[in-house]
Structures are given as structure tokens and as C-alpha cells.
Amino acid sequence: MITDRSKAPLPKEEIDFHLPRIEKFKLPNGLKILFVEKNNLPIIHFNLVLNAGSKFDPDGKNGLAQLTSMLLDEGTKTKNALDIDDEFESLGTVFNIAIDHDSIYLSMLSLMENLDNSLSLFAEILTEPAFNDSDFEREHRKLSTQILQLKDQPSYIADSIFESVIFNGTPYSFPVMGTDITTKNLVNKDVIEYYNSKFVPDDACLVVVGNISTELLTEKLKDAFKSWSGNNSPNSQLLKPGEEHAKIYIFDKPGSPQSEIRIGNLCEPRDEKFYYSKKVVNTILGGQFSSRINLNLREDKGYTYGAHSSFYYNKLHGYFTVATAVETKNTVPAVKEILKELSAIHEGIRDDEIAFAKSYLIRKYPAMFDSYSKIASNLTTLHVYDLPPQYFENFIQNIEATEINELIAAAKNNIKTDKLSIVLIGDKTSLLENLSEEIEAEIIEVDHYGNSIH
């Protein structure tokens, strides 16, 4: 018998998927806990979110939060950096510190059999850092070398310049790492002050996903964090970004075989009302492989290895970006195609595109909860954006409910075709040859941090 392959097989009956149950409680010191019990493996994942990201860096000291996060696990009252690392390695525990503009994240993945030792070391790092001068010197030098090295990285330069331009005048315009100038004069006292004022439990959140009961976990956490206390001082009002204008920013990288391209603008912040429409619009426009932008630039024109767009959010703002890297000679044609796609999405969206996007977003939802780490990352999102408790339960119906007129409105309100910032990292001479004739916008040459150099 010959198999009939002519039609795509249809799915079997719909799957039965249950969201994990989220427990929410507080420790006596004010630390908020978000917990999911998951028992198929003997492991546990922690993610502590501290309200201490780089947007709180004092004026002229950008990079301080980053340096503080680097120093945190470099020594406690009784252990140096090597002892700490040795202990984690021997336990088979993975410990990591990360930072963005809003928060500092301490994460840990441990075997259940080593939970007590892992947790006690985690708490010691958090509450008893040594901040020795010699460690400061070493990490300070490491940071300035990292800043130097990032000047090699075209995609990093593109992101930094784009953020500096759209967030102009606010702390979000500075790279998390800081710059050569702002990190140069940091001293250990700055780090200690930053730690004392920002590393406090009352506006932090600990996410836990693991093979443990709520009762036992609570008991262990109370014990581990009993000496941690303090309140965050109220933050000063953060500044609003300046007005956006359609401009082209060029960073010259002579002889570069490719150009990095970023095109976008500020948009509405993350809020429940418009989030889902933006999500569906972006899925169609550039959020996945089969999107308009990728199919045009990669699968039709062959300009790039990949092109995508995204709505990004921090706690206060939203922004929209298209990002890609293309061969130098195709840079201007690629920019024109992107601009064409951004205008086109204002004009209309087909029903089959909407059906595809909704099916994609809804059906992939269960896979977002398949591992300990992914569940932890979802709980972190819940905390960072202060989402409603029913967010996960309602996600699917909220996507389902978006209608064509809302999608078009979301596109028009959030993709501002008359105010786009265009950032190009590449060979200036070659870019300038045809740029000014082809695209109407002021061209500005900038340095690594988006400052005009003329």
C-alpha cells in the first residue's frame, strides 16, 4: 500500500493542559515568595529579583549596579571567591547573577539532596558580602576591560546606540555596564552604599520552583533569610525620554562585511489592555520565522540570515525594534524593505494571518511551562511587570479576543512610521553613497554610546 501524503494530517483531539498552581506568600522580613511545586525531578530552581537595576545608578556613576552585582559573590565574611565557587561546584549547584536596567537577579539550580547547603550559601552571599578592597580592584578592572571588549561587538554597539537614542535623557539611555568615563572613578565605598540601600527584602521577590512542599519550603526560607532585613528608600521620580524624531544614526566600522540595523521607536508601556494586540501584530510582522519581515528579507531577497521585530518592555516603558544584519551592499535596500513592511502593517492584516498568529501563540502556550527553569522565568515576569494574579489563566482567551480593528490600532499607535530612529553599524563610506538619495531623514554620525561626533 502506498501512503497518501498529499494532505497534512489533522490533529487528534485537543490536549488537556493544566497550568501549575502558583502559591504566593510573604516572609516576616517582607520578602515576597512566588512558588510552584513540581515533583518530576529531584531539583529546585530559585530566582531572587532585587529592585536594584542600573536605572538606579547615581548620576555620573553608571555601571555601579553592574559592579555591585559582580562583587557580590566575590567574598563573604568567612569565604573568598574561590571558596564560594568551590562549594557550589562540589554541590553540583549552578549559581548565577544577572542584571538589567530594572533589576538584579540571583538565580540558583540545586539538587534537592543538597538544598540545605545550597540555600545557606546563597543566603550568605546575599546578606554577608565582604566587599574587600582587593576584590573591588580586581572586579573594577574586569568591568573596564569588558566595556573595552564590547566595542568589538557590532550587535551590542547597535543595541546600545538605539537605546541611548530612544531613551534620551533618562537612566535607561545608559548601558547597564556603564561607559569608560562613568565607571572610571567608581570606588568601593560606592558599592557598599549601593548594596546597603538597594539589597533589601521589602521590595524583592523570590521565585521558587521545586520538588518540595509549601510548608517545608517556608520553614527553610524563614531560617535561611532570618538575618536579612531593611526597607528600600522611595525612589526619586524618573525622567521622561525626550521627543523622538525620524533620524538615521551611523556608527562607522570601516571595511565591515555587514551592517547591523536597528529601526524602531518608543511605544505604550506594558499594560493589560493593549499587550495582547501588540503581541498578535508583532507575530505577524516580525515575531517568528514565518513573519512578513523575515520572509521578505531572508526567504525572498536573501539579504540576511534572519530578521525579526519585537515589542520590548521595561518597568516604565515599551519600545518597538526591528533588528537584522545584512551584507554591506544590501543595507539601504534592506532598510527600505523594512520601512515598507512597517507602513504596510498600518494598512491591513489578512484574516489568515490573524488565524495563524493566534494559533501559534495559543498552541505553544503549554510548552512555556515544560521545565523548572521556564516556569521560574514566567513567575519572574509576573513579578517584574506586576501582572494580575489571573494573568496566566486568561492569556489564551485574551489572545483569542483580539479583533482586526484593535490590531490595526495597535500597529498605528505603536509603530510610528514618521518618528523612527534608524541605527546602522557598518562601513560609513559605502552606506552614505546611496543613503541620502533613497531615504529622507537627517543623518548623524555617532560614537559607541550614541553621542553625535560632529
Q: Which of residues 231-290 bind other proteins (CB under 8 A)?
A: 253, 255-258, 288-290
117 binds other proteins, rule: CB under 8 A = no
Which of positions 8-27 make contact with other proteins (CB under 8 A)? 8-9, 11-17
CA atoms within 13 A of residue 64's CA, in its CB half-sphere? 24
| Interactions with other proteins, residue window 326-365 (CB under 8 A) | 326-327, 356, 359-360, 362-365
Among 59, 152, 418, 437, binds other proteins (CB under 8 A): 152
Binding test (CB under 8 A) with other proteins, winner from 146, 310, 377, 381: 146
Residue ranges in 364-427 assigned as alpha helix (H): 372-384, 391-400, 404-414
Distance CA 323, CA 158 (A): 9
What's the chain's length in residues? Answer: 454
Residue 406: CB minimum distance to other proteins, A: 22
Q: How far is the CB of 357 from other proteins (least distance, A)?
A: 9
Q: How far is the CB of 153 from other proteins (least distance, A)?
A: 6
How many residues at the interface with other proteins, by CB under 8 A? 78
Show the site string, 42-81: x = touches other proteins by CB under 8 A, - = not: xx-------------------------------------x
CB of 269 vs other proteins, minimal distance in Å:
28
Q: Please, what is the minimum distance in Å from the beta carbon of residue 122 to other proteins?
A: 16
Give the list of residues 6+ apart from residue 442 with CB closer than 8 angstroms, or none.
245, 246, 247, 248
Please report, for residues 36, 399, 423, the alpha-carbon distance to residue 22 in angstroms, rounded to integers and kept in the order given: 5, 22, 42
Helix (H, G, I), strand (E, B) or coil at 3: coil
Of 372, 109, 115, 106, which Cα lies nearest the Cα of 219?
A: 115
> Which value, in Å, is the radius of gyration of the alpha carbons in the chain?
24
Q: Which of 96, 113, 169, 401 binds other proteins (CB under 8 A)?
A: 113
Cell of 113: 539532596
Query: Mapping DSSP to helix (H, G, I), strand (E, B) and coil, where does residue 304 land?
Result: strand
- Work out which of 98, 181, 239, 367 binds other proteins, going by CB under 8 A: 367
Contact 157, 260 (CB under 8 A): yes
Handedness of CA 343, 344, 347, 352 (dihedral sign): negative
Of these, 19, 27, 97, 111, which contacts other proteins (CB under 8 A)? 111
> Closer to other proteins at the Cβ: 371 or 398?
371
**Candidate residues 83, 403, 433, 438; the one interacting with other proteins per rule CB under 8 A:** 83
Which of 336, 363 has the CB closer to other proteins?
363
Q: How far is the CB of 381 from other proteins (least distance, A)?
A: 19
Per-residue binding string, other proteins, 409-448, x by CB under 8 A, is: ----------------------------------------
Q: What's the rounded Cα separation, in Å, for the pair 317 and 337?
A: 27
Complete DSSP assignment for 49-111: EES--GGGPPTT-TTHHHHHHHHHTTBBSS-BHHHHHHHHHHHT-EEEEEE-SS-EEEEEEEE
Report residue 325 as a C-alpha cell: 544584519
- For the segment 298-317, give every residue that binds other proteins (CB under 8 A): 298-305
